[in-house]
Each structure stands twice: as C-alpha cells, then as structure tokens.
C-alpha cells in the first residue's frame, strides 16, 4: 500500500488554515493544562474551611487530600491503553466530562463518603489529562513548534496553580472581614460556603475544555496506525504546511514498512517496552520523570506557606509569598516556552537543574543555621500529658521560658520562640503545626487520640500500613520530640522566599517545560501511550511519597534535611541530562525513534 497517496483531497482542509487550527489545538490543550493545575492547587485554598466546618477527623481530611493522588494513579495506569483503544481525542473529551462531574459531587456533598468519591473521580480526570494531552500535542504538532506547543500545557498548568492560590487568598480576606463583624453561626456558614464556592469556580474552564475537544482533529499518528490514511493526511494538514505533511507521511510509511519487513523476515517479536530498541528511551524517560518530581517541586508548592512561616514570615506575608511563588512559576514558564525551540531541550535541562541545585543548597544552609540551635524539651512536655493521654498547651512567652528553664537552656529568647511537637499513639506518628510565642491569636496545641490515630483501616493504610490500629487505640501518648527554637527575623524569611523564587524560576524555565516534551518525544510511537502511563505512575508515586514524608522529616530533622535531599536528587537529574539525554530540537518523532534504534543496534 502506498501510504503517501493522498486519495480524495476534496475534503482536506485548505493549507492556509493550518495556523488557525494550530491555535485552536493549543487553546484546547492549554485548557487541559489549566484543569491539571487547578486539580493540583484547588485543595490548598479550600482545606482550611473544609477542616473548620466538615466535622471530619484529621485522618479523614488526609484521605480526602490523598484521594486525588489515588484516583490519578489508577487512571494513569490505564490511560495509555484507553488512548490506544478509543483514540486521543475521545479520551480528552472523557477526561473533561469526568472533571465536570466531580465538581458538583464535591461542592454539594455532606459527609465523608461523597467528598471522597468526588475527589477520587477528580483525580481520575487529572491522571487521564496528564497522559493524553501531552501525548496528543506531541503527535499533532510539527517538529518546528512541538516544543513551544507542548510547553503551553505546562504554562497553563502553572496558571491553574496561580488561579487556585489567588482564589484561596481572596476567600481568606473575606473570612477575615466576616470574623471581625459577624456572630459565630454566620462565620461558620460563610466558611462552609467558602470551600464549596472555591470548587465551583473551577467548573467553567472544564466545560470549555469539553466543548473545545469537539473542534479538534484526532491524532494523525493514531489514525495512520489504524490504516485511516486519508484522515491522517487531513489531520496533518490542519497543523502544518503541505511540504511537511509529505515528509512526515513518508517517514511514517518508512517506519511502517520497516516494521512489516521485520515481521515477514521473522525478525520481529512481540513488541513490548523491554525490547532493546525501546528500553533505552523508556528507562531514560522514567529517570527524568522520577528526578523531575524529586526536585521537590510538588512538595514545595504544597507546603509553601508552612515553609515560609517557619522561615520567619508572618501568616499574611507567608500566604502572599506563596502567591508570588506561583506567579514566578507562571512567568518563567513563558520564558521556557520561548527558549525551548531555540536553545533546545538539553540546554534548558542543564541550566535549569544547575539553578535548582544551587538554590536548594542555599535554602538548606539558611534553615540549618537556625535549626542547629533548636532545643528538645521532650521530657518537660511529656510531664504535661494528662491521665486520659491528651495534651493541651498554650505556647506563650511564659510557657516558652518554663520549657527552656527545664532543659537548662536560656539562650533562646522566650518572647520570640517557636514550638513543634512530634508525638505518637502506638505506631502512628503525627506532628503539630509550628506555633509561635509572639502570636497572641494562636490557639493552644491540642493533642488528642482522634487526631493522631486513624478512624478506620483505610485511613490507617494511608497513614502507616505497618502499624497496628487496634493497638494504637489503647496506646499511651508518647512525646517523641518537642523542639523549641528562635523564630527567624522577617528579613531571614524573605531571604529564604527569594531563593525559593530562584528555585522555581530555574525549574519552570527548564525541567518544568522540558519534562512533558521528554515524556512524549523520547517514547517511540508503538510504546508511547503505555510508556507514558508507566512513567507518570512513577512520577506520581514519587510525588506522593515525598508529600507523605515531608512534614515528619522536617519535624524530626529540620526543613534543611528535605532541601538537601531535593538538591541530591537534582544532581542525578543534572548528570542524566548531561550524559544521556539526546537533543531532540527540530527532529520529527520518527527521526528520534530511528536514533534510539541505531543506538540499540550498535
């Protein structure tokens, strides 16, 4: 069969329309990125009000937060198979509809079950979007614009995170105003409505995404593999000039002819990810996806306010610091988009990872300078545990002085001290939020069994799968550490904030843009959808693990330990980019595949 025969060209789109079609394609795919960003960031603004009004335990709230990750892992596992079965375009539509359904389920829910189910299907949608949109863009866009085009997904993903942060801070101001003037019942009602409205705000973009998917073409490479050659040619003509179409049709024909020749000569075995010509790009993509999350980007986004509070900023400044962080992420993604097709993928990864390593080391050193002076007042706090194995402690300057005197340490200023308590019931360890003696509005530290012990076996599995829940329900309260330290100055806090901005600037302009390209470009066509699914599952498992260990490690060993860990993983990322990553700028997907095939053969 002649794969370059155009067949009936009467119904093909006029070549002059390809730029307009490209713009539409990028708009729709960008809305997918926006949804992915909202999916990541929306819970941050809603969680404080959900916690205050839902009546859910801390363990249940943790499961609600983690439900998105759980749904995303499940859907990512099957996204590649679905993309191959029903096509890229229908799967984008399905992912958008799933997101639309999740919003009213969450916003209208009353109780743990509906909330969990709504967040779970929201995660399913996010997992599908994270696989199919970069896959679709890589297969539809021409080599000259593929880098910039695929970066639109990451750009609008960061815009979604910015939008979520701005929505959260808007409602924090509204709640603050209500608290000054209203009675407790009114405050409670407004907080209950606030978290629901935050979720409702994310509905319009996902409706637009669903509508937009009906106006874009199917992936030409998916159509080609299904033998729909005229439709594949028509899809290519929607996104590039005719001369590029002929070249790519010829390359797809040659790749198909080569595969057919191998099959007829008995050289071909069943195609899997572990064939020699596939395993190198597959492993390389998995390493890049692993290291990309191990830079700490998701943890630093999720715990940004906590990090800045502990660095010395006030509550309001810490929240504004997070907004600035998301804006830097958004703006530097634009820079990465402009450079990725000019300077190349490898160049941006090397520069980006270098900046990440330096900034993380500096933040770690800054935290270490203050954390090295912390005092463990564990014995004094353990003596305050009540007979019913609970603890109530208001951390005032007087209490700070009492704890410090009990340890024989008077070098820390009790008027400007911080306290965090790490405690356990049986095998379940938890930690309090940091409280400051200079904050008269801070409530007392309250440690109760309901907060430290999961309510059921599902929550226990998320918290610690190796601990015995029945034993923990009767175990005594053990104070593992009670760290009193000096609250750093605001200048120190802004210095750390500035280096986190430098971190996210280098990340956004380098790894943040390149990672989606590496995922979609490195994988050969025959394994791309399944390979992307597996690599993204690895990415999400790393992200979940780091999110779970962040606060326990920070509480036990200090925030500096986590930043040094992130820097160490990024060194591996840097070496991978320097030593193993080929430059794919300006190359078609078939040319990239051929290069890896030659490496495997030689």
**pLDDT level of residue 3 (50, 70, 90 thresholds):** very low
pLDDT recorded at residue 8: 42
pLDDT for 44 equals: 66
**Most confident range, picked from 100-104, 183-187, 307-311, 521-525:** 100-104
As a whole number, mean pLDDT of residues 100-105 equals: 93
The Cα 37–Cα 162 span in angstroms is: 8
Residue 269 has pLDDT above 70, yes or no: no
- Inform me whether the pLDDT recorded for 71 exceeds 50: yes
The pLDDT value given to residue 362:
97
> For residue 87, is pLDDT > 90?
no
| Residue 506, pLDDT score | 96
Of the listed ranges 56-65, 201-210, 477-486, 542-551, the one predicted with least confidence: 56-65
User: Using one digit for the tens of pLDDT, what is the confidence trace for 25-48?
Assistant: 778 877 888 877 777 777 766 776
- 270 or 417: which carries more pLDDT confidence? 417
pLDDT at 583 over 70: yes
- What are the tens digits of pLDDT across the range 337-359? 788 778 878 889 999 999 999 99
Picking from 131, 139, 93, 129, the residue whose alpha carbon sits closest to that of residue 232 is: 139
pLDDT of residue 215: 84
Distance CA 175, CA 188 (A): 10
Query: Is 164 a residue whose pLDDT tops 70?
Result: yes
| Torsion angle of C-alpha atoms 588, 592, 595, 596, degrees rounded to 10 | -160
Model confidence at 138, in pLDDT bands (50, 70, 90)? Answer: confident
Indicate the pLDDT class of residue 572, thresholds 50, 70 and 90: very high
pLDDT of amino acid 501: 96
Confidence (pLDDT) at 262: 58
Residues 6 or more apart in contact with residue 371 via CB below 8 angstroms: 485, 558, 559, 560
pLDDT average, residue stretch 79-85: 84
The answer on pLDDT for 297 being more than 70 is yes
SS3 585: coil
Q: How confident is the model at residue 145 (pLDDT cuts 50, 70, 90)?
A: low
Give a three-class secondary structure readout of 262-298. HHHCCCCCCCCCCCHHHHHHHHHHHHHHHHHHHCCHH
CA torsion angle 169 175 177 180 (round to 10): -140
* Residue 60 confidence (pLDDT): 64
Chain segment 176-227, per-residue pLDDT in tens: 788 777 787 888 888 888 889 888 888 888 898 899 888 888 888 888 888 8
Residue 150 confidence (pLDDT): 65
pLDDT, the chain, mean: 80
Task: Identify the pLDDT of residue 42.
Answer: 76
For residue 1, pLDDT beyond 60: no
CA atoms within 13 A on the CB side of 353: 26
Mean pLDDT along residues 388-409: 90
Above 90 in pLDDT, residue 443?
A: no
Q: What is the mean pLDDT of residues 105-115?
A: 88
Instruction: Give me the mean pLDDT over the 368-388 stretch.
Output: 91
Phi and psi angles of residue 468, each rounded to the nearest 5 degrees, phi first: -95, 115
pTM: 0.71
Task: Quick: pLDDT tens for 219-251.
Answer: 888 888 888 888 888 877 776 777 777 777 777
Give CA angle at 388 (386, 392), nearest 5°. 45
Q: Which residue has the higher pLDDT, 98 or 554?
A: 98
Average pLDDT score over residue span 462-486? 87
DSSP secondary structure, 328-375, as one string: HHHHHHHHHHHHHTTT-HHHHHHHHHHHHHHHHHHHHHHHHHHHTT-E
Closest by CA to 251, choosing from 523, 596, 597, 590, is: 590
Using the predicted structure, report yes or no on whether residue 56 has a pLDDT greater than 90.
no
Q: What pLDDT does 9 receive?
A: 42
């Amino acid at each position: 069969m002649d794969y370059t025969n155009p067949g009936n060209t009467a119904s093909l789109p006029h070549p002059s329309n390809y730029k307009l079609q490209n713009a539409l394609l990028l708009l729709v795919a960008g809305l997918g990125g926006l949804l992915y960003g909202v999916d990541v960031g929306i819970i941050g603004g809603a969680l404080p009000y959900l916690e205050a009004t839902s009546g859910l335990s801390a363990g249940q709230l943790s499961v609600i937060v983690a439900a998105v990750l759980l749904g995303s892992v499940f859907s990512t596992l099957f996204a590649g198979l679905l993309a191959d079965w029903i096509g890229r375009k229908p799967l984008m539509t399905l992912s958008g509809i799933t997101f639309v359904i999740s919003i009213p389920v969450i916003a209208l829910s009353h109780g743990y079950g509906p909330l969990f189910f709504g967040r779970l299907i929201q995660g399913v949608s996010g997992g599908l979007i994270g696989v199919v949109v970069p896959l679709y863009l890589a297969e539809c866009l021409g080599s000259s614009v593929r880098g910039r085009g695929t970066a639109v997904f990451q750009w609008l993903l960061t815009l979604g995170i910015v939008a979520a942060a701005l929505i959260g801070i808007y409602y924090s101001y509204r709640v603050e105003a209500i608290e000054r003037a209203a009675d407790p019942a009114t405050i409670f009602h407004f907080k209950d409505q606030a978290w629901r409205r935050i979720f409702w705000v994310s509905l319009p973009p996902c409706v637009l995404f669903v509508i937009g998917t009906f106006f874009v073409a199917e992936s030409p490479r998916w159509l080609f593999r299904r033998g729909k050659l005229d439709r594949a040619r028509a899809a290519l003509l929607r996104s590039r000039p005719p001369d590029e179409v002929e070249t790519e049709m010829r390359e797809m024909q040659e790749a198909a002819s080569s595969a057919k020749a191998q099959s007829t000569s008995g050289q071909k075995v069943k195609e899997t990810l572990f064939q020699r010509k596939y395993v190198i790009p597959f492993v390389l993509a998995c390493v890049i996806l692993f290291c990309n999350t191990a830079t700490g980007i998701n943890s630093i986004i999720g715990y940004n306010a906590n990090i800045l509070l502990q660095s010395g900023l006030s509550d309001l400044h810490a929240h504004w610091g997070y907004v600035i962080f998301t804006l830097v992420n958004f703006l530097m993604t634009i820079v990465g988009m402009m450079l990725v097709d000019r300077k190349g993928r490898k160049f941006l990864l090397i520069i980006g990872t270098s900046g990440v390593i330096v900034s993380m080391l500096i933040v770690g050193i800054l935290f270490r300078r203050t954390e090295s002076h912390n005092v463990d007042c564990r014995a004094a706090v353990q003596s305050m545990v009540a007979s019913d194995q609970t603890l109530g402690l208001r951390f005032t300057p007087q209490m700070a002085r009492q704890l410090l005197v009990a340890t024989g340490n008077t070098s820390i200023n009790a008027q400007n001290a911080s306290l965090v308590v790490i405690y356990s019931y049986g095998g379940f360890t938890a930690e309090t939020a940091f409280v400051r003696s200079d904050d008269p509005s801070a409530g007392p530290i309250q440690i109760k069994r309901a907060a430290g012990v999961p309510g059921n076996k599902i929550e226990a599995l998320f918290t610690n799968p190796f601990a015995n829940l029945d034993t923990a329900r009767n175990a005594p309260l053990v104070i593992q550490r009670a760290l009193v330290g000096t609250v750093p100055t605001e200048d120190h806090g802004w210095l750390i904030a500035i280096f986190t901005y430098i971190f996210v600037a280098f990340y956004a302009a380098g790894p943040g843009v390149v990672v989606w390209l590496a995922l979609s470009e490195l994988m050969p066509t025959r394994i791309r959808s399944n390979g992307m699914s597996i690599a993204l599952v690895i990415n999400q498992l790393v992200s979940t693990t780091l999110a779970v260990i962040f606060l326990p490690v920070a509480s036990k060993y200090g925030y500096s330990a986590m930043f040094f860990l992130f820097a160490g993983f990024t060194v591996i990322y840097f070496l991978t980019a320097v030593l193993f990553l080929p430059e794919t700028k300006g190359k078609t997907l078939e040319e990239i595949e051929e290069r890896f095939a030659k490496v495997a053969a030689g």
